[in-house]
Every structure is written in C-alpha cells, then in structure tokens.
C-alpha cells in the first residue's frame, strides 16, 4: 500500500512539473505578444502623427518598400494588434486553467503525503 501511495505522489509530481513547464511557455508567449502589441501601438501612433505627404516604408524581412496606401497599412497594423490582443486573452485563460490544475495537484499531493506519513507513524 505504501508503495502505491508513493507511486501516486511521484506521478502527480511529474504531472505538476509538466504543468509548470506549460505555464512557463504560456507566460513567455504572453510576454512576446505584449511586446508585439507595444510595437504595433507605437507604429500606429507614429503613423497618425506624421503628415500625409511623408513617405512611409514597410519592412518585409530585410527589405524596405514604400507604402502608397497608408490607410491599408494602418488597417493591417490595427488588425494585427487586435488579433494579438485576442491571443493574449486566450493565453491568460489557458494560464489560469493550468495554474488551477497545478494548485489542485499540489493539494492532492499534500493530502496523500500527510496520509502516508500518518499511516507510517501509526504502524511503527
């Protein structure tokens, strides 16, 4: 019986480690998206502050090309920002779900460990 409980605890701890790794990945993705949104906001702000006759260039890889349709560029950047914000909300929900699952496992492990140690104490 003791070995079964110990095995159970080990399996739960492995699962908790996997969840912890997933949380770290989600946090990293959120950080990258936050930075992307800040870049997009800065670009949109800059585009709105310059005059209409100022040439605007768009970077594609290592190439810069002139943009003739500024409205289209602003729409593209706004759409990218909106999609990034939606993705962040999805990641936030995913992170919360993972954190809840982690806490649940943590509680279960603590309970099983307490049961195991109390049984060992009474059997000696």
Report which of 46, 96, 111 is spatially closest to residue 74, judged by C-alpha positions.
46
Contacts of 24 (CB under 8 A, 6+ apart): none
Report which of 23, 40, 34 is spatially closest to residue 93, judged by C-alpha positions.
23
Q: What is the mean pLDDT of the chain?
A: 92
Of the pLDDT bands very low, low, confident and very high (cuts 50, 70, 90), residue 123 is low
Q: pLDDT, tens digit, for every residue of 1-45?
A: 456 568 888 999 999 999 999 999 999 999 999 999 999 999 999
Q: Give the pLDDT score at 7.
A: 87
In eight-state DSSP terms, residue 54 is S
CB count, 10 Å around CB of 81? 18
Total residues belonging to the chain: 124
Q: pLDDT, tens digit, for every residue of 67-79?
A: 999 999 999 999 9
Report which of 87, 113, 72 is spatially closest to residue 29, judged by C-alpha positions.
87
Among the CATH numbers 3.40.50.1370, 3.40.1350.10, 3.30.950.10, 1.10.287.370, which is that of 2-123? 1.10.287.370
Q: Are 73 and 58 in contact (CB under 8 A)?
A: yes
């Amino acid at each position: 019986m003791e070995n079964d409980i110990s095995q159970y605890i080990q399996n739960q701890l492995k699962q908790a480690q996997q969840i912890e790794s997933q949380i770290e990945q989600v946090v990293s993705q959120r950080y990258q998206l936050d930075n992307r949104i800040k870049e997009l906001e800065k670009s949109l702000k800059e585009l709105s502050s310059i005059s209409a006759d100022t040439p605007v260039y768009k970077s594609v890889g290592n190439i810069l090309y002139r943009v003739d349709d500024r409205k289209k560029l602003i729409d593209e950047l706004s759409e990218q920002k909106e999609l990034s914000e939606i993705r962040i909300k999805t990641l936030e929900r995913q992170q919360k779900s993972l954190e809840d699952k982690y806490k649940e496992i943590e509680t279960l492990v603590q309970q099983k460990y307490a049961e195991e140690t109390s049984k060992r104490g009474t059997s000696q």
